[in-house]
Amino acid sequence: METKYKSSKFATYSQYIAAPIIVGTLLYYLYLLFIGVNLTEEELFFFPFWFWASIVVIINSIKLRYVNITENNILMKSLLEKEILLYKDIEWINQNIFGSNWYIITIKYKDIKKGKSKIIFVFPEMYIARENLSFYKELNMTKYIREQILKVNTSYRVEDEPSRWYLTKWIFLSFLPFIIISFLLIV
């Protein structure tokens, strides 16, 4: 089957490189604290950021998939396995509002084998130049997946998809406590 769209290899696999670097930096700071080294004010300020970033990259690494989108299904590849996702099993699709070539598509689907819903993240290949995309428009990849879902699932409702601000809100709300802690550490 012909691949219509796919993930960005660079964006996807760079996450797997960034994760150990970020977690390693956090572990280094924890080691320094453990052996009693006094951290500078700047290091103390950024310590909660490294903790937050470690959580985010670990979650991202677990949920991130490299995908090939075809007319009949989505071939998903993670570091450990390959799966085929049928359009009829998708509960919703969401493309975040971020722009500047760093879009993240979130797909929630029913894992038939395990009988539960799962969420995956996809960094689409950069089709931006061809799509003449503005801030509020969706990528053709997102539109295509939705069209395929609607073809096989007549009960799918676009109105039930989460807001395009979904990921932005999650990132901001999860980061806010760590910013507050950063300022409290240097006071």
Chain segment 56-104, per-residue pLDDT in tens: 899 988 999 999 999 999 999 987 889 999 999 999 999 886 655 568 8
Please name which of 14, 98, 25, 27 lies closest in space to residue 64, comparing C-alpha atoms.
Answer: 14
- Partner residues linked to 110 by β-bridges: 117
pLDDT of 136 above 70: no
- The predicted structure's pLDDT at residue 130: 53
- The predicted structure's pLDDT at residue 104: 87
pLDDT of 24 above 70: yes
- The predicted structure's pLDDT at residue 133: 55
Tokens of 118: 């799962």
**CA distance linking residue 171 with residue 49, whole number of Å:** 12
- The predicted structure's pLDDT at residue 175: 86
pLDDT of 128 above 70: no
Exposed e or buried b per residue across 48-73, where buried means at least 16 C-beta atoms within 10 angstroms of its C-beta: bbbbbbbebbeebbeebbbbbbbeeb
pLDDT of 111 above 80: yes
Give the mean pLDDT of 144-148: 96
Measured in whole angstroms, the distance separating CA 172 from the mean position of its chain's CA atoms is 14
- The predicted structure's pLDDT at residue 134: 59
- The predicted structure's pLDDT at residue 178: 84
Average pLDDT of the chain to the nearest whole number = 87
- The predicted structure's pLDDT at residue 1: 75
* Class (C level, CATH) for 67-163: mainly beta
State the span(s) of the chain assigned CATH 2.30.29.30. 67-163
- Partner residues linked to 5 by β-bridges: 69
- The predicted structure's pLDDT at residue 28: 93
Give the mean pLDDT of 132-152: 84
- Partner residues linked to 118 by β-bridges: 109
pLDDT of 132 above 70: no
3-state secondary structure of 76: strand
Phi–psi pair at 95, nearest 5 degrees: -115, 125
- The predicted structure's pLDDT at residue 170: 81
